[in-house]
């Protein structure tokens, strides 16, 4: 499981993908979400603007699970 620290109450899915260095831009994030299966709380998610909170469970096919936490 990969852990990503944030300093705000939430992060968007597109920002999370950038922070994980899986994409470089919002356009790439949109394409990534169309090509890869990304689940948030066991539901497939295709919106790069989806808010991700520390309690959410994120799974990215081929990359594993991701946990977001605050300091």
- What does pLDDT average to over the chain? 95
Predicted confidence (pLDDT) per residue in 37-71, tens digit? 999 999 999 999 999 999 999 999 999 999 999 97
Strand pairing category for 2-6 and 64-70: parallel
pLDDT for 71 equals 77
CA pair distance 23, 27, nearest whole angstrom: 9
Assign 8 a pLDDT band (cuts: 50, 70, 90): very high
The pLDDT > 90 percentage for the chain reads 96
Concatenated DSSP letters of 5-23: EESSS-EEHHHHHHHTTS-
């Amino acid at each position: 499981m990969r852990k990503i620290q944030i300093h705000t109450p939430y992060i968007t899915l597109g920002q999370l993908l950038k922070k994980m260095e899986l994409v470089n831009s919002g356009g790439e994030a949109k394409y990534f979400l169309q090509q890869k299966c990304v689940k948030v709380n066991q539901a497939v998610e295709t919106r790069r603007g989806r808010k991700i909170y520390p309690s959410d469970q994120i799974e990215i096919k081929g990359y594993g699970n991701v946990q977001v936490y605050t300091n």
